[in-house]
A = this chain, B = another copy of it.
Amino acid sequence: MDLLKEKIKNDGIVINENVLKVDNFLNHQVDTKLMDLIGKEFADYFKSKNITKVVTIESSGIAPAYAAALKLDVPLVIFKKQSSAILDTETTIQTPVHSFTKNTDYVLMASKKYLSENDNILIIDDFLANGQAALGAYRILKEAGSSVAGIGIVIEKSFQDGRKKLEDLGLDVYSLARVSKISSDGIEFLN
């Protein structure tokens, strides 16, 4: 997606060789026009897959996931991050996630009510690095008995192994921008 890559090149801030800040249009400030196009791009790619719901992880995933769900004309389900497990295992599914990027641990949680065996889910997130968040969402969906039709990622850090882990599970990973290198010289892309 050329417009997105242009935006990353022009507005992305290189913090170090692992961290790229895109606060200007994706995370803190959201370029709604670009986000609408991002949603359309995901919807176009996955439209033949009979998606029943889009799933994302709060909170940076919400805008692109909502944009995609709106275009696909399906509901969005937002998985919640919590600092620790909650007692209610009757109505919720929970799984621990470690974020290598932020070096934090959290518990990802979803209500069983919104996931069924009849669902065919598209997972959308803003970043893919080590894949821990997407894998956590996948575990919850498998426990709910839902099918996973694919994973849509806005920015993939292709120099980390998240994509490989997801593809090893047989998942279709569609990333709009695949970053191969972040350095003080600039940002390089795979595709």
Contacts and interface: CB of A to CB of B under 8 A. Distances in A.
A170 B21 CA distance: 37
A68 B96 CA distance: 34
Contacts of A110: 28
Interface string A66-93: 1101100111111010000000000000
Interface stretch (A30-38, A130-138, A147-155, A182-190): A30-38
Copies in the complex: 2
A45 to B, nearest CB: 18
Contact of A75 (B31, B67, B111): B31
Given A29-B111, A35-B66, A58-B58, 19 more contacts: A24-B113, A27-B78, A28-B77, A28-B78, A28-B110, A29-B75, A29-B77, A30-B66, A30-B75, A30-B76, A31-B75, A32-B66, A32-B73, A58-B59, A59-B78, A62-B63, A63-B66, A63-B76, A66-B66
6 contacts: A24-B114, A28-B78, A29-B114, A30-B75, A32-B70, A35-B66
